[in-house]
Structure 1
Amino acid sequence: MIEPRSLRQFLVVAEELHFGRAAARLHMTQPPLTQAIQKLEAQLGVRLFERSSRSVALSPAGAALLPEARRMLAELEALPALARAAAEGRQGRLRLGFVSTVGFGELPRWLRRFREQQPGIQLSLREATLDVQLQDFAADALDAGFVIHAPDALPSGFEALPIAREPLVLALPAELPQAGRAQLAAPDILDLPLVIFPREIAPSLFDAVLGFYRAHGRAPQIAQEAIQMQTIVNLVSAGMGVAWVPESVMGLQRSGVVYRPVAGPVPVSATSLIWRPGAPPAVQRFVTHVREGLGMA
């Protein structure tokens, strides 16, 4: 094992090309320095310097080692600052999951500003539904995630920061007669075929949608299931049915699709940022960043 002290001694001798001057810089006498260089050469199995009675020069092996020794010593000197930055959440990696609906809100702005303010944190993004994110958390492949759920139905075992709560609105094909109304009532839509996400990707929100129909004495006519909100809206555009979507999705404009509010109590979606208790400092720094973005600091 090559000690950092040995590399520093080699570096000074290489810069001075004189053992006496190098020893003075290192605040030691020449004989111990000569012995240290000889020991390093024995460890490496090569001569680092060509010596004569009048001069000292780097050998080819010494010339090759010189830049690497400088790099390794620089990295060693940077370790304390790096460790402090990691402990303070200014350095490291953040593996962040997010559901597609978050992209219609403030997420792009939060990510851009976080990258600007925390250049030492490497962001790794993964678009994933709640069920996939929970699997990633269990496999220690995710540090934090934006998830969608029904209000008061967060997965257990997580800390959470509420991001948004919004009513669901109805996306429907523009050719339907109901599309011409500014606001819909439950009787207008109960018998229309429904495009919806599979229950396993957001169980509480799926159940809230079905609860709306049950409250009106109906069962929904599920025509098609799709995972991504963009796909669901595209299927509505294709005339496959209507879909309940968070209000923020109204920013996703598709030809042949209109969005309409529904009168009366309707399902509500909530978005939260979740993370495990005891998460690394970089996660806490991101949580603080989002909290400040929400005006909650």
Structure 2
Amino acid sequence: MDIKTLKSFISVAEHQSFSAAAKQLHTVQPAVSRHIAQLEESLGVSLFNRNSREVIITSAGKQLLIDGHAILEQIEAASLRVKRAEQGEIGRLRVAHMPSACLPFMAKLINRYTNHYPGVNISLYEMAVTQQLEAFKNKQIDIGFSRAMPTALSHDYSSHTIYNDQLVVVVNQKHTLANRQSVKLEELQSEAVILFNRDEAVDLFDDIIAMFKKAGFSPNIVSQPRHMQTLLTEVAAGLGVAIAPYCIRKQYSAGCHFLTIDGLNKIIPTQLHVNKSNQAATVAPFVELTIAMKQEIEQSMSE
């Protein structure tokens, strides 16, 4: 039973006429008769009682008429869903982000996307850099907001810089450096240092250690928290000073003071990453929207 045959049957049943059905379907009566004969043969039932004056639908035909309408409606709905899926209007989208770098703009971005694509089921995941790399590897996420990809993996991903950040020193508000706006790295030589855990962001940790070595000393690392909020809490509690991206000031940072680092021009990018092998139609519209909002995002992170 194909769609053309089913449509021929429905037309005959509704018009109670083979000739009227042929006219509606823009075909010839023999073609319609052939469709009905093929349908009756395949089902093993009579769908119509025919004589020279009229065409009367049988009980089997009445049931097929009900089911036939439902089948055509389902086919039409499926066709519409397929087209919408191809255009990224329905489906799923899994987005991972680092909360410390993305909280100020993520809600607005997701809200704007869902307003444009209400049929997409979107899932958000808080993940550090290494967690996102593992999730990409296991095809558990479609989009990742993270730091720059490791060089060895960068050729597998399409990456877009959303905004650039800088490293800063974070001290307790009662620290002797809290009345200043900047500091030399060498001034931290006698300080207890808190750094974000290396397992969560290898490149960030190694870059900070390289900075200390360039300054001529190794830091006295007393803590490596796995969450940036914990890092801020430890600083506010007076457990040490920290070096971290400036974006973490957007988290709860009461009791903390942020200082720029003299002579440091290192850029810390926040980027959107998509694996080039990902063919999900929902991805491209989200990437396009994020790029369109780039200036707005940059402004929200600089305030």
TM range (shorter): 0.7 to 0.9
Distance 1:176 1:58 in 2: 90
Distance 1:134 1:235 in 2: 27
Shift of 1:10: 4.4
CA deviations 1:202-226 (Å, max 9, x no partner) are 2221111112222233322222222
Match of 1:137 in 2: 136
Q: Secondary structure of the equivalent of 1:200?
A: coil
Gaps of 5+ in 2: 296-303
Q: In 2 relative to 1, CA 65–274 (structure 1 residues): closer, same or farther, beyond 3 Å? A: same
Contact 1:144/1:275, CA 8 A, preserved across alignment = yes
Q: How does 1:1-297 map to 2 (within 5 A)?
A: 2-13=1-12, 16=14, 18-20=16-18, 21-26=20-25, 27-29=27-29, 31-39=33-41, 41-42=43-44, 55-56=56-57, 61-62=63-64, 65-66=67-68, 68-78=70-80, 81-82=83-84, 86=86, 92-119=91-118, 121-149=120-148, 155-157=153-155, 158-265=157-264, 268-277=267-276, 279-280=278-279, 282-294=282-294
CA deviations 1:15-35 (Å, max 9, x no partner) are x17253445433343633432
Q: Secondary structure of the equivalent of 1:261?
A: strand
CA deviations 1:137-163 (Å, max 9, x no partner) are 22233333221249x968432332222
Distance 1:216 1:5 in 2: 79
Contact 1:19/1:34, CA 8 A, preserved across alignment = no
How big is the alpha-carbon RMSD for the aligned residues of Structure 1 and Structure 2? 3.7
Q: In 2 relative to 1, CA 206–9 (structure 1 residues): closer, same or farther, beyond 3 Å? A: same
CA deviations 1:221-264 (Å, max 9, x no partner) are 22222233223223333443332222222222333333333333
Contact 1:11/1:69, CA 8 A, preserved across alignment = no
- Structure 2 letter corresponding to 1:115: T
Gaps of 5+ in 1: none
Contact 1:161/1:274, CA 8 A, preserved across alignment = yes
- Structure 2 letter corresponding to 1:286: F
- TM norm structure 1: 0.76
Distance 2:103 2:46 in 1: 61
Q: In 2 relative to 1, CA 294–77 (structure 1 residues): closer, same or farther, beyond 3 Å? A: closer
Q: In 2 relative to 1, CA 76–32 (structure 1 residues): closer, same or farther, beyond 3 Å? A: farther
